[in-house]
Amino acid sequence: MKLILLALEQTEILVGIIGAIAAVLAASLPYYFTKKDEIAANIKKNKLDRYDDLLKKLTTYLQKNDSDSLGEFILTCNRASSYANHETLNAIIAYLDSIKENKPDEEVRKHVNEIFPNIRKDVNPKAPESDFKAFVPKDSSKKN
């Protein structure tokens, strides 16, 4: 009889412990997943803001085609290495190499047109493929 009572007490204690653990998990798991989603959304927003700045600098350089705007674009590209994906960085490097080496306009345009879809893919991987074409001035490979 004592053995049965002892087993019942242990069972009650075990049920109490399991109930407490379940209550803590039930309260903390939604908080964890909500926080995780908030952090992911914050990272995405910061990435979008930084990419927006990068594209503004690129567009300014494409419009002005001067050494000051190129310098600003290069500084922004250097900062991009902290958040941009590998494909985007490779597209930027290929573009910078093509203007540094005074490649033909068609090759420069090709590299510019690789930057935008790679950014889009990085920001929204589920977005459908795009045949985006940037409007690039004819003399974008020539420095003033």
- Residue 1: per-residue pLDDT: 63
Instruction: Answer with the residue of higher pLDDT: 127 or 43.
Output: 43
- Residue 140: per-residue pLDDT: 46
Residue 30 lies in a domain: no
Residue 137 lies in a domain: no
Residue 133 lies in a domain: no
Residue 94 lies in a domain: yes
Residue ranges making up the domain that contains 87: 44-123
Residue 7 lies in a domain: no
Q: How many CB atoms lie within 10 A of CB 114?
A: 19
- Domain total in the chain: 1
Query: In the chain, what percentage of residues exceed pLDDT 70?
Result: 84
Residue 63 lies in a domain: yes
Q: How many CB atoms lie within 10 A of CB 111?
A: 23
Residue 139 lies in a domain: no
Tell whether the model's pLDDT for residue 122 goes beyond 60.
Answer: yes
Residue 96 lies in a domain: yes
- Residue 144: per-residue pLDDT: 43
33-51: pLDDT as tens digits: 999 999 999 988 999 999 9
Q: For tokens 């941009």, what's the residue?
A: 84
Rounded-to-integer distance, Cα 94 and Cα 84, Å: 15
53-83: pLDDT as tens digits: 999 999 999 888 899 999 999 999 999 988 8
Query: In the chain, what percentage of residues exceed pLDDT 90?
Result: 43
- Residue 2: per-residue pLDDT: 65
pTM, rounded to two decimals: 0.69
Average pLDDT over residues 91-115: 90
Is residue 85 within 8 A of residue 125, CB to CB? The reply is no
